[in-house]
Structure 1
């Protein structure tokens, strides 16, 4: 029952295609045999079994083309009277007209199923075994005809042209399609990795910053005078929960981040003033020095990274943000309470890559009793002052 289900066609189009294929093949087989109008008995004994054999080959050939090749073996190119080419081998043989690649009316169908065998079969040993059987059949045919050297030449060319070459073409086609499929899957995998990296960057830029501000608000409540002890304890638990969430977010970003993917060059839509205002509303003590002139495109990313680091590693400290057309810096004082998260995040590394691509220079380190994050960007037409390796274009 299982094998019968495998022989079912998936659509009516396949049924019509196979019926037409059998009809054409049957016509060719009939034309090769006795004339039914002159010798009906010979036609029934010779052509009718061959037509039935063709029907079986067509039925199983779509699923198992190698089986169709075996079934059509008696209809193979074993008549060496007509061929694709005729050559003169009098220098080697007494015979002048030797047929190269004998062709019969059924040869194109055999070639087609041999091609499908190479195209669809993954394992090669069944095809090799069948080819050995076909070779043995051809050797027996030549020996039965007398074993003339011209017959051997015709038989070998028939094996190569009718069976081997179509099979190798199908095999080549299958390999090419596999390579194309692998390239497509690789491109899809790269697209998924890029999307994961984008999600990681968005999570770090948005959620990480917001969690840090939540922790800052909780720390402010924890230090507020006159607050009930229970409320102070709840504020401390909220601060620790925000710190734990920030740490878990950092671990998730580490899993999602693709090191081979470039850092983004365009931050989310929020200017520096709005970012500072939102951070100050959360309880951070921030002073903003915003110079006149165009604001660098990386200013928002630099300020966000600096404020996030200050909120996590120096909670309660005073922060000063300075933005000029060619320099952005975020400086914070010493922390007033325990840091909310340990160091080792990926935000500073991603920001460093952004700055490098913009042709600027990033410096981050201790400054007095605090910490400063500063980015210097080249002026229009200037080279990278510290040769950071980025593109020599202004941000």
Structure 2
């Protein structure tokens, strides 16, 4: 009984109206209850019972309702959607095409619901074979005239098959719409994961690298006791471990098949390239800045931050040179003064390369002498940010 329960009062009202209309049409098709009470009781009352059961189960099992309404199907062949003259082929002139009864719209509705809700083909095929068998039996019982066969076939096609196919088409369209929505939601989730990964890389990765630089400076500072040197070394290794764990988290957040994340670089509000370099220098990173007069490229800060982060992680203690002109940004570091603790192969350069590509620039990164160089040619400042 729980399966027959309606989910909302609106469904109850709709089904009651459907049942009332179907009963009225069934009664109109049968004998007059006042002139022929016996015929009404023998024909119409059982049909009303079948209609009641069909409406009761039709919302959940429309194919069952379709089978229950078989006795009220289009088997009279007296009224049709159209009448054609087939005297050139048949003895009869007036042949009904797509016979219609008062109950035909209700049968079409349940045939549509069968295609709309039933994904399995075999049950529907069995039901339609049963319906076709009923139609064949009706035609043979009336003599098997060719005109009756034409009426019966058009009745099967118009009353059952076409609404069923329309329901199947509707179901396919809704499935495609649902798949498109799920795909869009999945892409949105992946973009958000990529954004989070980029933010974590740019903000936390840079700060952890600067912490490692400060710890390395303390480790090499003269006048410290052995315990303090050991503590500074442990701090440097802890920062390197935290950077590695951050990289693993970023790898989990970002799918390999995703495009490189293009979110804005997180930084203190209003911080420009000069303040970024100053903050890195205050952390103990030996750095020089050569800032040419003129406008600064739009992505210069992102390039410099990536270069400084990589230098701090992969070349601890190395001297870093930053050169910025109107169209070019270069970050170059010398050989490391201590063993690097970070592993190569992060996502920072991949994301930066994609941003530079979309901006119409060119990025090169690789060994330069005994160090490493990151060089980017960018559009002039003032051009529209391609990410917008």
TM (norm. structure 1) is 0.91
Q: Which residue in 2 is equivalent to 1:261?
A: 259
For 1:66 and 1:356, the matched residues in 2 are separated by 57
CA RMSD of aligned residues (A): 2.0
Larger CA deviation: 120-129 vs 285-294:
285-294
Q: Which residue in 1 is equivalent to 2:364?
A: 363
TM-aligned CA deviation for residue 266 of structure 1: 4.2
Q: Which residue in 2 is equivalent to 1:292?
A: 293
For 1:371 and 1:392, the matched residues in 2 are separated by 28
TM-aligned CA deviation for residue 15 of structure 1: 1.0
SS of equivalent to 1:95? coil
TM-aligned CA deviation for residue 122 of structure 1: 1.1
SS of equivalent to 1:98? strand
Aligned pairs, number: 381
Residue 158 of structure 2 is aligned to residue 161 of structure 1:
yes
* Deviating 4+ runs (over 4 angstroms): none
Unaligned stretches of 5+ residues in structure 2: none
For 1:356 and 1:161, the matched residues in 2 are separated by 59
Q: Which of 193, 196, 218 in structure 2 is aligned with 1:196? A: 193
Matches within 5 A, 1:215-364: 215-258=212-255, 259-261=257-259, 263-264=261-262, 266-269=264-267, 270-364=271-365
For 2:159 and 2:340, the matched residues in 1 are separated by 79
Q: Which residue in 2 is equivalent to 1:11?
A: 8
SS of equivalent to 1:289? strand
Larger CA deviation: 21-30 vs 35-44:
35-44
Distance 1:161 1:266, change over 3 A: same
Larger CA deviation: 221-230 vs 78-87:
221-230
CA deviations 1:224-281 (Å, max 9, x no partner) are 2222322222221221121122122223323333544255274335311221122122
SS of equivalent to 1:322? strand
Distance 1:263 1:14, change over 3 A: closer
SS of equivalent to 1:86? strand
C-alpha contact 1:288 1:321 (8 A) present in aligned 2: yes
SS of equivalent to 2:60? coil
Unaligned stretches of 5+ residues in structure 1: 381-390
Larger CA deviation: 364-373 vs 97-106:
364-373
Q: Which of 21, 25, 32 in structure 2 is aligned with 1:24? A: 21
Matches within 5 A, 1:93-104: 93-104=90-101
TM-aligned CA deviation for residue 39 of structure 1: 1.8
For 1:316 and 1:89, the matched residues in 2 are separated by 99
For 1:116 and 1:82, the matched residues in 2 are separated by 25
For 1:262 and 1:232, the matched residues in 2 are separated by 40
Q: Which residue in 1 is equivalent to 2:39?
A: 42
For 1:191 and 1:146, the matched residues in 2 are separated by 65
